[in-house]
Structure 1
Amino acid sequence: MIRTVHTTRYVTPLREGGSLPALVEADDDGLYVLKFRGAGQGPKALIAELVAGEIGRALGLPVPEIVFMELDPAFGRAEPDPELSLLLSVSAGLNLALDYLPGSLAFQPLAGPTLDPELAAAVVWFDAFVSNVDRTPKNPNLLLWHRRLWLIDHGAALYVHHAWTDATDPLADAPDRFPLIGNHVLLPFAGDLAAADAALSARLTPERIAEIVAAIPDAWLVEQEPPGRRAGERWSAFSSDPVDEPGPQAAPAAEARRAAYAAYLTRRLASPRGFVEEALDARARR
């Protein structure tokens, strides 16, 4: 079960990348990095963050705890910065947040502690499976905290879903070999990728995938607010047609789109796994 917490204090914006996350305090007295539903990437970035992050946790990888976070509209009204005020206002309601790791340091490939080759291979396999384009030497999205490597920021994973519509067959994208795995920051440090494939593919069952996908909120699946939105207008996550506020009538559409994610990931896990072959080929070319 993914916990739901409520924002009690907006601490500071984290002006990194295009999504403008923020450091906030919640009603459990914890500090979290809040990812906003109303940011430029829209709800699909939160879907990717949730699904990929929970897959990583299911595989035993070091991903900070993920929580749902309710944001009160009052935070937007109280923010003096117009850009942040708009972001807070359009993100009122359910968002996503990750446990904050105080004092953590950005991972530097050529500095710091020696990497465990088995862990590096597992991270490469995981990122290839979820098609994460954002784990490169320029942008590793890895932190060192208490001498341990932590994986963060998975909003750019599952990039193929940005092209999905209700007329799209997600299974057509599932065999993608993901050639961008050749740019992975940990590929030079990875150990036995075939062994990682055997261990992780057995751990990630279709049933576990279904459980993870079931956690995607209906609202994220049936609405999207692009940067050019008109005030008060809602948008379908799988099409460019404006739709009404999600209600009971939206539940069947949300369930169908949730099933599309489960089908895509389950098929991607089926053998033969082209993304594993691509990672092995990329490793051999180095």
Structure 2
Amino acid sequence: MLKEVTATRYITPLREGGSLPGLVEADDLGTYVLKFRGAGQGRKTLVAEVVCGELARRLGLRVPGLVTVALDPVLGLGEPDEQVQELLKGSGGPNLGMDFLSGALGFDPLAFEVSAEDAGRIVWFDALVNNVDRSWRNPNLLMWHGDLWLIDHGATMIWHHNWPGADASAARPYDASDHALRPFAPDITAAAARLAPQITEELLAEVTAVVPDAWLTGEPGFDTPDDLRRAYAGPLLARAAGVHDRINGLEGPR
């Protein structure tokens, strides 16, 4: 289970991306980037953030800590932006919080170096979860205390937007031609040898168990949250063994 906290102060919206995340303080004295259940794709985005974030962490990649944040919409009454006001009103209850990495810098491939090994691990992971939002235009990578951190996994596992076609969607190749780490000659072979054996039914059951029931209940075609958890695990397990052979776009000049 994710740690549960309650938002005590809404600080400001973070006007980056389409989901309008906000910065909040919580009753554990932590500061979190809040992803709202009432935004964009709603709770599916939160599920993707948890499954991919917790999976990445267990594979040894750096991801900000995740918590569930209970939100009282009245915290945003002083926010003058009507769009943000509506977002707050529609997001009462449990939302997703990510540790705020104060002072972190956005990743710039011209300013920072990444080893072929580390680049390979991240590209392989992105291929596994079919992350379409790690391009050079929008890396969703941060440099913090000299280390590379992964953020924003809401645009992953696109098959969960159409469960009847999930198996076919999950079998598709991964296009890495625009990946932010392509210039660093990612060592996909080494990454696959190291990471693929770790993707087991047990690991995926552990990761999907972290997702709150409230974000899984009521999904059409699934009787229980656990049924849906198994549906999330299935494509990832099937994809892990051979996705390294289906990563396209790394060939040629960088």
Give 2:244's aligned residue: 276
1:91-121 deviations in whole A, cap 9, x for unaligned? 1101111100111111111113x21221111
Question: Which SS does the other structure have where 1:222 is aligned?
Answer: coil
8 A contact 1:37–1:91 mirrored in 2 = yes
Residue 195 of structure 1 aligns to a residue in which SS? Answer: helix
Amino acid corresponding to residue 63 of structure 1 in structure 2:
V
Amino acid at match of 1:66: L
Q: Assess, with a 3 A threshold, how the Cα gap between structure 1 residues 134 and 29 changes in structure 2: closer, same or farther.
A: same
Contact 2:48 2:157 in 1 (8 A): yes
Structure 1 counterpart of 2:142, one-letter code: L
Tell me the residue number matched to 1:229. none
| Cα displacement string for residues 123-170 of structure 1 (whole angstroms, at most 9, x for unaligned residues) | 000000000000001000011111111111111111121122xxx163
What does residue range 7-156 of structure 1 map to in structure 2 within 5 Å?
7-112=7-112, 114-156=113-155
2:232 counterpart of 1:257: no
* C-alpha distance in 1 between matches for 2:199 and 2:228: 21
Query: What does residue 252 of structure 2 align with?
Result: 285
Equivalent position to 2:188, from 189, 193, 203: 193
Distance 2:201 2:182 in 1: 27
Distance 2:198 2:217 in 1: 31
The gaps in structure 1 that reach 5 residues or longer are: 224-236, 240-249
User: Secondary structure of 1:25's partner?
Assistant: strand
The answer to whether the Cα contact below 8 Å between 1:170 and 1:263 also exists between their aligned partners in 2 is no
- CA 1:169/1:210 → structure 2, altered by over 3 Å: closer, same or farther? farther
**In terms of mean alpha carbon deviation, does 137-146 or 168-177 score higher?**
168-177
Of residues 138-147 and 71-80 in structure 1, the stretch that sits farther from structure 2 once superposed is 71-80
Q: Secondary structure at the match of 1:284?
A: coil
**So what's the TM-score if we normalise by structure 2?**
0.92
**Is the 1:5–1:67 Cα contact (8 Å) retained in structure 2?**
yes
Q: Distance in 2 between matches of 1:151 and 1:169?
A: 28
SS at match of 1:5: strand
Give the distance between the partners of 1:262 and 1:191, measured in 2 at CA.
Answer: 26
1:183 aligns with 2:178: yes
Structure 1 position 222, deviation (Å): 3.3
**Structure 1 CA distance for aligned equivalents of residues 14 and 215 of structure 2:** 23
Q: Partner letter of residue 257 of structure 1? A: L
Q: Does residue 162 of structure 1 match 2:161?
A: yes
Name the amino acid aligned to 2:246: E
Question: Contact conserved, 1:34 with 1:95, CA < 8 A, in 2?
Answer: yes
Indicate whether 1:174 and 2:170 are aligned: yes
Distance change (3 Å), C-alpha of 1:206 and 1:285: farther
Matched AA of 1:261? Y
> Counterpart amino acid of 1:185?
A
* TM-aligned CA deviation for residue 171 of structure 1: 2.9
Q: Distance in 2 between matches of 1:17 and 1:55?
A: 23
Deviation per CA, 1:48-81: give whole Å up to 9, x if none.
1111111110110011111111112322445443
Moved more, 72-81 or 114-123: 72-81
Instruction: Tell me how far apart the structure 1 counterparts of residues 224 and 81 of structure 2 sit (CA, whole Å).
Output: 36
- Aligned 8 A contact 2:105 2:143 in 1: yes
Q: Aligned partners of 1:238 and 1:129: how far apart in 2?
A: 25
State the secondary structure of the residue aligned to 2:11: strand
TM-score by length of 1: 0.83
Distance 2:233 2:198 in 1: 16
- Given that residues 199 and 237 in structure 2 are in contact (C-alpha distance below 8 angstroms), is that contact kept between their aligned partners in structure 1? no
Q: Secondary structure at 1:120's aligned position in 2?
A: helix
Is 1:214 matched up with 2:209?
A: yes
Asked if the contact 2:159–2:165 (Cα under 8 Å) also holds between the matched residues in 1, the reply is: no
Partner residue of 1:205 out of 186, 194, 200: 200
